[in-house]
Each structure stands twice: as structure tokens, then as C-alpha cells.
Amino acid sequence: MYTENQVTGDMSALMVIFGGTGDLTNRKLIPALYNLIYDHRLPKHFAVAAVGRRDMDHEQYRKVIFEQLKKYSRNEIDQKLWEKLSCLIYYFQLNFTEKTGYERLNTFLSKLDDTYQTHGNRLFYLAVAPEFFETIVMNLHNNKMAAETNDSWKRLVIEKPFGKDLKTARLLNEKLREVFREDDIYRIDHYLGKEMIQNIMVLRFCNLVFESLWSNKYIDNIQISLAEKHGIGSRAGYYEQSGAMRDMVQNHLLQIVSLIAMEAPINLTSDAIKTEKLKVLNSIETFSSESLKNNVIFGQYGRGVIDGYPVPGYREEASVKDNSNTETFIAMKFHINNFRWAGTPFYVRTGKRMGVNAAEIVIQFKSMPDVLYFSNDAEQEPNLLVIKIQPNVGVFFQFNTKDFHMENEVISTKMDTSHTSGEQGNTPEAYEKLILDVIKGDSTLFSSWDEVEASWTIADRIIEYGRQKRLKLPNYDAGSMGPVLSFELLARDCRKWWNI
């Protein structure tokens, strides 16, 4: 995120992907590896063992992932580069619950280790359903595949969700810690790999003009919006168990909040940064029954129109129950109770099937007094600093200046440095950065257990409230920007959601 700290000197690695035939591997992991080799960033001594339950050989697997790579790579396919990468990728058929198969897997990995001189360094990537996490880790342990030596490292990458509540997260963490040290567990949050999320600290701590104003004295409110046009697709099995709270708020949104609100760390090491992020999470106000009622809005999309095409409601999606109360949208208002932020509201929202695909952070500064230029009922637009995460990437700033076409008019002027990848080159995908960081041993962009525990403490309270509340769903049309109640949430405070 900020410097390459706590980095191992040995960049050789054997990457073992459990779930080698799954959607995440096809759409994210293999394209990330190709783009790393395209940019000459893949380690010299490196190989991939894709582990899956389907019966196929190495060549068959390479053909399958090549077809997916052509769909999802951010760079054009160079046949010579693909051939160079494909020679490093192998397939191993294994039923994850088959204990005897792990002994064969260990032998297979040892041969790859010798061939590619990866020095026993292994990156175990669990791109599988959560119910297999513990099973795979314990089988790795029982077959002595997770033990570190003085000359090698073993690291574990866990995809979300990390548990389904605080209790299950703690149980899972205990099992993982029986096998791996905390420093070797990488709980991945791909949002933290996005360029502008990494840039939040740079904007704050490298610019006196921003950091000197970064407090409740000058900031009126902070808004974070993560909006998606698409629905759940074929992920009903997962989404029915997660909903927007577990899928987006407990991890992505709270991680962004912690970066926006944290104090300056004493240095740029992973531990120092995580210490400050954790302080923010622990300072978020405890939701009382009354504050939950007034400040948390749940939603679920019904039928609507997206980009001119009709789309079904959530309850009409494949494998979703006709009476499902799973939330596909949530909006919240809360406060961070510390000296820097006391009294400044944070508004967050996330939802599926919304009118735009956009992720952005809006810092709204306080308005000037109604004197001088604003003494005659002149409309005053607030200063805004907008951090655009996707699809555009960059910074937008709004300030007031004179309209040179009028005598005394004040107008709002906008400075926009954001860009799309097509204008200023392709932006590296988050997974490229994160995979390299695991190999380096840099955990800055990954969630510590303490952060996960703190975020679940917050999320559990809200999830339980949603479970008990009698929700009237669906309550927003696909293609809109969410339930009417989410707009009323800000209107009560004489504020509005900004869509920049």
C-alpha cells in the first residue's frame, strides 16, 4: 500500500490453488498471473498447482483456463507469454474431503518444488466454499505440508467470508491458528488492492491541505457508496446465506471506513497501520435498539430496468425463495466516538441492481457562514473531495469561485483528475498486487484477526436487528438508487446522497 515492508528476501514460490476449476480462479487468479508475467513481475522461480475435483489432465486444464483468460485478462493475449505461463501451471485432481489424496498431493508438490527450485515456499490459496476451509487446512497439517522450516515459508490465503458471524469466525480462526501463525494467514479483501483505496493514505498524509482539515472541525459528513448494477447471477446459494451485510459491509465497507478515519501511523509497517485501523473499528458507536431503528435501512430489489433491459426481482432469481428476506441493499448512519470525529456522521450504502456501477468516497466539508458572498440567499455548494474507486479511478474536488460572466455571482468549479483505464493505460487488477504481496510477505493490505473480530462485533448487532425486523420487501426497483427510506435517512439531517 505504501512501502514494501516486512518483505521476505526469497521471492520463489509454489502457488497451490484449491478450487482450481472455480469461478474465482478463472475470472481473477489466472488472469492476475498472466498479467504479472505480461508486466515482467512474476518471480523467476514460480509454479502453480491447481487443485480441483474434476477429472482432467494438465493439458486439458490449460485449454480450459486459456478460454477463460481470453475473456477476463486486462491485457491482450500474447501467445508466447501464454505458453511461458502455461508451462508453469499444473493440475491435480483431488476431492477435498479425501484424506488419502493429500499424501499424493504432497508428493506431487515436492516434485514441482524440485523442478522449479521454489525452495519449499508454498502459498496455499483457498478459492473454495467456506465449508472446506477447515477440512483443507487440517489435512495440510496432518500430512506435514504446512510446517515451516528455517529455509522455507508456508502461507495461507483465505477468501471471504471469514465466518458467518463472530462465533463462527472465532472458531475458524482457532482452527487455522492451530496450523498457521497469524503472520502467515492472509485474509484477503480485494477492495484493499484497488489503486484508490491504497491511495487514501497518500492523499491524507502527503498533503497538508487535506490532513490539516481532516477532522470534525472542518468536515460536515463522510459518505461511502458501493453500488452495483448486476444482480446475484448464479450465486444464490452463497448470497442467501450472506446478504449485503456479510457480503459487503462487514469487510469492504468497514475496511474503507478504517482507512478514511485512522490516525497517522508511527511508520508504514503493516503492524503500525493495522493498529490505527483497529482503533477506528473499536471507536464506532455501539448501536442501541433505538439507533438501529433510526439509522439502518435494509432493502431488496424488485423488478426493474437496467440499461434499457427488464431484469427480474431478487425473489425471481434462480434458487432464491419466493419469500426470501435476504437484504440486497443496506444504508447506515453512524458516528466514530473519538476526538477527531465526534459529531461527524458517516453514511454508508451498498446495493445490487442499482442505477450505476460505482464505488466512491465523498468528503463533504462544512459550508461557509451566510455572510459576504452568501448573505443574499445565494446558493452555496459545499466543498467536496471525492475519491473515485471504480469504474473511474482518481480524485474529484469541488470548490467555489467567481463567475466571470456575471458581476457578483459565485459558481461551483470542479477539478477532476479521475480516469478510466482506457485513457491512461490499464490499471493493475487488485489480485495482481495482492498475490505479489503474499509472496513478499507483506500483509499490509490484508485484514488482521483483530480487525475481523472487531468488524464482526459491529455486524452481528445489525444482522440480528435485521433478522428480528419485519421487513416489507422488495422495497426498491432494479435500476434505482435504493429504497426511499435511504434518502430519508439523510434528508432528516438536511443532507443528501452525492452521486458524482
* Whole-number Cα distances in Å, 238 to 131, 164, 234, 243, 472: 11, 11, 9, 9, 22
CA–CA dist 346, 336 (Å, integer): 8
CA–CA dist 320, 306 (Å, integer): 20
CA–CA dist 208, 215 (Å, integer): 13
Partners of residue 221 on adjacent β-strands: 364
Whether a cis peptide bond, with omega within 30° of 0, leads into 391 is: yes
Name 48's Cβ contacts closer than 8 Å, sequence gap at least 6. Answer: 14, 15, 16, 17, 33, 88, 89, 90
Options 45, 58, 252, 335, the catalytic residue? 252
CA–CA dist 456, 461 (Å, integer): 9
CB 300 within 8 A of CB 328: yes
User: Cα angle at 130 between 250 and 168, to 5 degrees?
Assistant: 60
C-beta atoms surrounding 491 within 10 Å: 12
Q: One-letter amino acid identity for 36? A: L
**Residue 335 DSSP code:** E
Residue 95 corresponds to which cell in the numbers above?
476431492
* Whole-number Cα distances in Å, 431 to 70, 159, 193, 255, 321: 17, 12, 7, 17, 33
CB 385 within 8 A of CB 363: yes
Residue 428 corresponds to which cell in the numbers above?
493493475
Q: Is 190 an annotated catalytic residue?
A: no
CA–CA dist 439, 33 (Å, integer): 13
CA–CA dist 298, 483 (Å, integer): 8
Catalytic positions: 252
